[in-house]
């Protein structure tokens, strides 16, 4: 039996803690970020915590990474104007706080005007 603590995202998958879930299938879940940095800020997350970052996921399961990307596009179209920024923080100094790979999907404001709060996404 594993003694590893479940990640916060595994607790959301298990419905142990609440989240505003907008999409779910066999392998992925997507929900609103608890501290949104844009009018639309979703997290698209594999249900399994097997991969801690996007490079590990790309190497181990590239189809799942592709599914994250297409799901992000579909959700940005459904919940915003279809234009979005996709961010994978990888490593503590890059702003990663949850070591269970996830994509941030940010949409709904002008990239050109810099209105996304990038400092809180790890880029200070």
Letters for 34-73 (x = contact with ligand AMP by CB under 6 A, - = none) are: xx-------x------------------------------
8 binds ligand AMP (CB under 6 A): yes
Query: For residue 98, which of 40, 1, 31 has the smallest C-alpha distance?
Result: 31
Give 67: exposed, middle or buried? Use CB within 10 Å, 0-12, 13-18, 19+: middle
Beta bridge partners of 21: 31
97 binds ligand AMP (CB under 6 A): yes
**Which element (helix H / strand E) includes 78?**
helix 62-79
Query: For residue 40, which of 57, 63, 23, 28 has the smallest C-alpha distance?
Result: 23
For ligand AMP, which residue of 53, 95, 108, 118 counts as binding (CB under 6 A)? 95
89 binds ligand AMP (CB under 6 A): yes
List the catalytic residues: 102
Stretch that binds ligand AMP, among 46-54, 66-74, 92-100, 109-117 (CB under 6 A): 92-100
- Binding stretches for ligand AMP (CB under 6 A): 8, 17, 19, 31, 33-35, 43, 89, 95-98
């Amino acid at each position: 039996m594993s003694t590893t603590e479940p990640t916060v995202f595994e607790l959301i998958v298990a419905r142990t803690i609440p989240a505003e879930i907008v999409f779910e299938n066999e392998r992925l879940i997507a929900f609103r970020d608890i501290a949104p940095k844009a009018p639309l800020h979703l997290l698209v997350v594999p249900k399994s915590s097997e991969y801690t970052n996007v490079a590990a996921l790309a190497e181990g399961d590239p189809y799942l990474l592709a599914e994250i990307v297409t799901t992000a596009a579909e959700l940005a179209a459904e919940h915003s104007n279809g234009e979005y920024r996709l961010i994978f923080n990888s490593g503590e100094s890059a702003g990663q706080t949850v070591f269970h790979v996830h994509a941030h999907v940010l949409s709904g404001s002008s990239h050109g005007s810099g209105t996304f709060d990038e400092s809180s996404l790890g880029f200070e």
